[in-house]
Structure 1
Amino acid sequence: MTDRLTATTAPYTIGVPPFRPGEEADFGGAFKEQPGDLWRPDPATCTADDSAPHARGLLRVLNDAGEAKGEWDPKLDASELIQGLEYMMRLRIFDDRMIKMQRTGKLSFYMRSFGEEAVAIAQTMALENQDWVFPSYRQPGAQFVRGRDMVSMICHCIGNTEDNVRGRQMPVHYTYKEGRFISISSPVGTQFSQAVGVAMASAYQKKDEVCISWLGDGTSAQGDYHYALNFASTFKPPVILNVVNNQWAISTHA
């Protein structure tokens, strides 16, 4: 990956992205990395050194023909693949409709998950129903996996009498108690600390539960990100913390 174009090659500088949305991007040709180049470490026993190549390299599951190969092949059957695709398509359609409502003044606020649909949906599908979901505003698709319907989500965004929080939250700040989907918060990054705290409590009470949370790379500048990593690395609770590197922070390139 060292020969690929990046936003910045020097530390302590504000990089200039090589491509902007709408421009044709060229990252140096076809990928040289192949499925199987990076091994699959045991998440329960691996050390930071074991996973360092994964942080610096490119981990591929699909080959150039679109086939899952190597240790990272999840061995999903056709029904699981179709279900995951249906969730993602549903979210894409939902986002498209809701952003049009916002742009025409029918909603006060809306944020899309365009291009990130698979991030939360695939991971939530891999969890058990008793596991806790601590989302940012880019992971509403996890609610589909947990059984929430679009009408309920629309009612929340509109803030009508069927809104499950009775208008006490901004649009897109979903919460879904039945699916253990914790309320989205406007201050970015708070969900990381909350996820670690609940995971610590679950471990203390010897419950068979896992917590999962996400944030964007821009939010990694927030204190909550570092607090969460500090406590997670010290107490090692059952928590999955994801940094979604979409290279944007709100509306500014990170």
Structure 2
Amino acid sequence: MAGGIYLDHNATTPVDPRVRAAMLPYLEELFGNASSVEHAHGHAAGQAVDQARQQIADAIGARPNEILFTSGCTEANNIALLGAARSHPDKRHIVTSAIEHPAVLEPCRALERDGWRVTVLGVDEAGRVDLAELAASLCDETALVSIMAANNEVGTRQPIAEIGAICAQRDILFHCDAAQIGAYGLLDVERDHVHLASLSAHKAYGPKGIGALYIRSRRPRVRLAPIQFGGGQERGLRPGTLNTPAIVGMGEAMALAARQGRKDAERLSGMVALSTPG
């Protein structure tokens, strides 16, 4: 908007010019369907998708086969929560927090209507969950804990590494909505003991309408029941023609975040410190 100053990067970010440049060929001459690998057009698109999958995996310390493309964080959260719950019908308890995005709370409510028990943890005055309260809420029936990495309204970061360690000790899956930290290279799924992580491109200087779900493939291998059905793309968990230009854009955005995100975070923190009275 001409003459305005945009400050709402928690809602969405502008597309980085380098991301736009990476996407353009796949909006023009390289328009093939990534699932149609029998000819050169589709093969080129498939290679671009593979590269983006690798870029995103590298950015969060994962393997490329652990990255599932979605339309955004909302779909990734739904696949993670509904898929994990339905693949463990013997464990009908889920733990989350009161300040999660509706993309987490609404799937939890849907599961509650279907007979799952949901524990919603409160937060302290800083917006953080209490680790002792979280640990006390777990039981033999707990299938999943879902806690966001950072809040989209107040910016509070949760102690996800500590939460992940608690879940790992109890053999409970830990899902993290990481939309708000994707731009800053702050997530390492191995270090943080994360089993499922939802990612969004448009919160990290990438395009809207594309996201990804990290699904751990070993120690433990996470099993998800499909909630959509179709042509079998993305291991049958997210069937449908892949949005190659947006996927390429997300890969480039996450690669940029991995290279410079921490420096950006330090620079922004310094600006906040300078503007804080006293």
Q: Note whether the superposition's TM-score is higher than 0.5.
A: no
If each structure's helix is expressed as a fraction of its own residues, which one has the higher value?
Answer: 2
Higher strand share: 2
TM-score of the two chains, using structure 2 as the length reference: 0.33
- TM (normalized to structure 1)? 0.36
